[in-house]
Amino acid sequence: MSRKVIRAAAVQVRPVETSVEKTIRDAIALAKKAAEKEVDIICLPEHWLPEKTIPTPVSPLPGLQSLAEEYGVAIVGGAFYERVKGQVRLSCPVIGQDGTLIGRQFKVHLFGFERKYAKPGNSYPIFQLKGYKIGILVCYDVDFPEPSRIYALGGAELVLCPSRIVKSGIEPWQQYVTVRCLENRMPIVAPNVYAPPWFNGHSMIISLREDPRTKISHPSITSVSTLGEGFAIAEIDLSLHNRLRRERFADRRPETYN
């Protein structure tokens, strides 16, 4: 069986509080640098736009779509407040390699103040990209085991987790993402915002490597190595994870889980 390998980038954006336009320009410029590294998919974080007005009056979609089309790269546009069909949602747009808007994932588990502004989503769609399938967990969604298991059972091969994690929560967040990767044999791309003093990044991509002797799977983490804006890039063998997931799930006993 041939290997199915992709290159993924987690882009760590710094919001410019005084300007939505500059934030978008800077984020697209940073994502362009990642695209120039010949990645297949780019993911931005959650709440990366300044949110003095909800939803923000300037959409980042046209710029992200142009970038996707220019470089032939899929883009998961992070999560931000968007008015969709008359309702404000915490929305994560998915842009295909040709620049088309494939769809949106709405954050299901709204956190704290978000409930004041947005209506939650109620489903976990799987998005078909060129040659592989993805699912999206927006920040707090990763804290719950059910969504990632739904994706794993539904045929997703990669999970994107755009996040906005305060610095005191980085360690548990990393543990949540690691456990979801291990329990579902699913690689996860998890970008975080950089907005000091409360948010200090630590964006990461987590995948698995298999010990050839013991056959034990171990997490492998690629993270943004510097404070500030930046991106992490990792090469992910989807075929390895697909095999590991099939083997692990073959041992499940769903009849005992009621």
Q: Are 134 and 160 in contact (CB under 8 A)?
A: yes
Mean of pLDDT over the chain: 96
User: Residue 258: what pLDDT?
Assistant: 86
What residues contact residue 20 under an 8 Å CB cut-off, 6+ apart?
A: 49, 50, 56, 57, 58
User: Residue 225: what pLDDT?
Assistant: 76
Percent of the chain with pLDDT over 90: 96
User: Residue 60: what pLDDT?
Assistant: 97
Does position 226 have pLDDT exceeding 80, yes or no?
no
With residues binned 3-state (H G I as helix, E B as strand, rest as coil), the percentages for the chain, rounded to 5, are 30, 30, 40
Per-position DSSP letters for 19-55, written without gaps between them: -HHHHHHHHHHHHHHHHTTT-SEEE--BS-S--SSSS
Place of tokens 């993270």: 223
Alpha helices (runs of H) in 42-127, residue ranges in sequence order: 61-71, 114-117
Q: Which domains does the chain have, with CATH numbers?
A: 5-252 (3.60.110.10)
Read off the pLDDT of residues 97-108 as tens digits, 9 standing for 90 and up.
999 999 999 999
Q: What is the mean pLDDT of residues 215-222?
A: 95
Read off the pLDDT of residues 110-145 as tens digits, 9 standing for 90 and up.
999 999 999 999 999 999 999 999 999 999 999 999
Q: What is the mean pLDDT of residues 195-201?
A: 94
How many Cα atoms sit within 13 Å of 57 on the Cβ side?
4
Q: What is the mean pLDDT of residues 48-75?
A: 96
Closest CA to 245 of 177, 156, 184, 158: 184
Read off the pLDDT of residues 154-193 as tens digits, 9 standing for 90 and up.
999 999 999 999 999 999 999 999 999 999 999 999 999 9
Two tokens at 41?
A: 């998919």
pLDDT band at residue 3 using 50, 70 and 90 as cut-offs:
confident
**Total-model pTM:** 0.96
Read off the pLDDT of residues 24-39 as tens digits, 9 standing for 90 and up.
999 999 999 999 999 9
Neighbours of 139 (CB within 10 A): 25
User: Residue 1: what pLDDT?
Assistant: 53
